Structure 1
Amino acid sequence: MHRRWGRLRIRRPDFERLLRASDHWTASAPGDGVIALVSIGRLQHSPGVVDLGVQVADHLHRRSIGMGMVRFAARHALAGGAHTLSVYTGQDNAPMLGLLRRLGPASTVRDGGHTELRLSLSEVTSHSSPPFDEDFHDPSHTARRPQGPDRS
């Protein structure tokens, strides 16, 4: 969390802004609670382009959780009329850059220490899905709209 947001907890205003500006889902696992979050929101000045945000608990990286959630969100965006997935991330964010490389070819624009990548949603959704994606609606992997910030 600190590496992504600059702090260990997401502030309430940031969380509320995310809820208003995007569609989002969480994944949970028995005993772990919420293990991942994916969100997509339309870019205001780019019709048909959605911005992607994805976070997976650090100890669960490289288990296809993020990939499954991104493909789930991409199918939702494509069905809603979007055509392009946009991601703005730090050039040192190896987990996100690795996930994006596996999604398909991307156009890349560097901006200081960050990179914006854009991928075709039809390309993202056309590849075979990892096993997690097939189990996404299984009771052990639930998707739900978050109700508010974690207060624990």
Structure 2
Amino acid sequence: MALWRIRATVDDRPGYLSVLTASLALKSVNLLAVQVHTTEAGAVDDFLVDAPETMTENDLLAAVIKGRGRDAFVARAEAQGLVDQPTRALALAGRLVHDPEALGETLVALLDATDVRWRPRPPADQPGVHGGRMTLIDPAGGSYEVLRALPAFTPAEYARAQALVELSAAVVRHQRENVALMLADGAEVTLRPAGPDDLGALRELHDACSPATLRHRYLGGGVPGEARLRRLLQPAGGVTLLAVAPTGRVVAMATLTAEGDLGEISVLVEDAWQRRGLGTALLRRLRAHADRGGFAALVAYTGAENVALLRALRRLGPASTERDGGVVSVTLAAAGQPERAPATSG
């Protein structure tokens, strides 16, 4: 006996499924599992069957057609197909809870897809199924395109896949909101996104920094006014991350600000927490956020004497550097992008 997967559409009327199964039974085909997907074209029946070794794909197609099935798809199956789809989806969901970055591989496994592509922009067409192409909305921004030659996707498969995408986004969001970080010297901090309620904590961070540290961050020095601090809490198109000490006090911040497809990054670390790897850790997380957001490149501006920040930026990957007087601009290509020259202002 041999395992086969059969998918066919039948009229969604009483008795039509039994006609198809009877036609298969007459050929000594044993049904091991069945799913019914409701579509506008009719009921799409998905079978896992055990057929005699002598049966060919054409034999099975003929039995399906005789059983009033249409748009038939027949292919050899593996033993793993014996697991029913709800159980399979739950197992894959459990995997995403532990490893949300494995979403692409999970969608391939769930849908037997040939390719999964993430797009930084919303889909050009409506989310859903379009034959062998499926478009999924990423709650974190952008969309996923899933491809499969045959058979065509069904609404039920779309619903399962969209649920996994939303689960992955929720896990990533939860992890991003509260990340415990241990520094090289054993100190622990929590990294999380900033919010509107952090204005007072941000002001205290700036008050605790020395004039030299503020000058490195803002070039001109001084503490920004309340309006600018509020903008830094939730920069348009970007994110601000805070490092919170066990005492609950904010001891560092890092900001990604969007300027078209270019992202500007900056970091401010309280003097007592400098040279402990905290700034580098924050910059790495900004880099990961920028990669997910589809930025073409990242740029940072600092004083030429800020050797610590320049060294940390170089750790993020290949970079190009330009100097204009005492100001240095460092440009980093985003993941998968070639290096580019930094933007200049007129």
- Fold match by TM threshold 0.5: yes
CA offset at residue 32 of structure 1? 6.0
SS in 1 for 2:309: helix
Question: Does the 8 Å contact 2:235/2:257 carry over to 1?
Answer: no
Aligned pairs (5 A) from 1:133-144:
none
Aligned pairs (5 A) from 1:30-109:
30-31=246-247, 33-43=249-259, 47-109=260-322
Distance verdict in 2 for CA 1:67–1:20, change over 3 Å: closer
Aligned pairs (5 A) from 1:3-42:
3=212, 4=215, 5=218, 6-7=221-222, 9-18=223-232, 19-21=234-236, 22-31=238-247, 33-42=249-258
RMSD (Å) for aligned C-alpha atoms: 1.9
CA offset at residue 111 of structure 1? 1.2
**What stretches of structure 1 move > 4 A for 4+ residues in a row?**
none
CA distance in 2, matches of 1:113, 1:91: 5
The amino acid of 1:92's aligned partner reads: E
Query: Partner of 1:111 in structure 2?
Result: 324
The amino acid of 2:224's aligned partner reads: I
TM-score by length of 2: 0.32
TM-score by length of 1: 0.69
CA distance in 1, matches of 2:335, 2:275: 23
Which stretch of structure 1 is more off in the superposition, 71-80 or 18-27?
A: 18-27
For structure 1, the 5+ residue unaligned runs are: 124-152
CA distance in 1, matches of 2:246, 2:256: 25
Q: Which has the higher contact order (CA 8 A, sep 6+)?
A: 1
CA distance in 2, matches of 1:59, 1:35: 9
Computing the radius of gyration from Cα coordinates, the structure with the larger value is: 2
The amino acid of 1:10's aligned partner reads: P
Distance verdict in 2 for CA 1:32–1:16, change over 3 Å: closer
Which stretch of structure 1 is more off in the superposition, 102-111 or 50-59?
A: 102-111
CA distance in 1, matches of 2:249, 2:284: 21
CA distance in 2, matches of 1:23, 1:49: 14
